[in-house]
Amino acid sequence: MSNFNTPDDWNALAERVARHVRNYLSGLEAMSRGEGGRQTVPLLLLEVSQVILAGAQLGASADVILPDNWEPEIGEDPDLDTVRQGLAEHLGGLDEYVEVFDPYKDTEPTAYRLSDDLVDVASDLVHGLRHYEKARPLEALWWWQYSYFNHWGNHAGAALRALHAVVAGARLDVVTEPVAMS
């Protein structure tokens, strides 16, 4: 686990995570508008992979503890339904997948939607980003870390596996051409 002894250490981590969050949100919005074209799924795989890196950094860090043990109010988070609907539309038949969400507790696969998972991740990330943008990096880190373990880490991991399966399937399911015999 990373040992953070100074506010500068926490601030540096918050800055790195905020950069990943902004990139993820920007990429997700672009894909929801159809800017990925035929590359939407591979680009979503890249976006999710990069934000999972931020989650891994949070997971490897010491627990973020708020001084007063409470999160300041920041108001309602933005509505991301337009992004969710755009992703569902552009993913089409690839939107729905099956996942065993917790391999240690679940025994039955459950149906999920990539568009829901990707936007659930975005919702948690936006909340922390709003703290960060109000010059409250510790609150942002606390929220990102807490919600990573509690919610968005699972959704990002499930989405990553589903997106990887689509990309790997497209790359590995190559039709072999007959070899001409001389």
For 71-115, write each residue's pLDDT tens digit: 777 878 889 999 999 999 999 999 999 987 677 887 788 899 999
Residue 162 within any structural domain of the chain: yes
The per-residue pLDDT for 5 is: 53
Beta-ladder partners of 113: 96
Q: Indicate whether 17 belongs to any domain.
A: yes
The CB-based long-range contact list for 99-105 (8 Å cut-off, 24+ gap) reads 99/158, 99/161, 99/162, 101/154, 101/158, 102/154
Q: Residue 4: its pLDDT value, please?
A: 58
Cβ burial, residue 116 (10 Å; 0-12/13-18/19+): middle
Give me the pLDDT at residue 174, please: 59
The answer to the question of residue 1 being in a domain is no
Question: Which pTM does this prediction carry?
Answer: 0.86
Establish if 182 belongs to a structural domain. Answer: no
The reply to whether 152 falls in a domain is: yes
Residues 6+ apart with CB under 8 A from 114: 44, 87, 91, 94, 95, 96, 97, 159, 162, 163
The percent of residues above 90 in pLDDT, for the chain, comes to 72
Q: Is 2 within a domain?
A: no
Q: Establish if 115 belongs to a structural domain.
A: yes
Per the structure block, which two tokens stand in for 85? Answer: 């609907």
SS3 61: strand
Total number of domains constituting the chain: 1
The CATH number linked to 104 is: 1.20.120
pLDDT of 173 higher than 80? no
Look at residue 181 and tell me if it is in a domain: no
* CA gap 132, 151 in Å, rounded: 19
Structural tokens at position 158: 């499930």
* Residue ranges making up the domain that contains 25: 7-172
The pLDDT value given to residue 182: 45
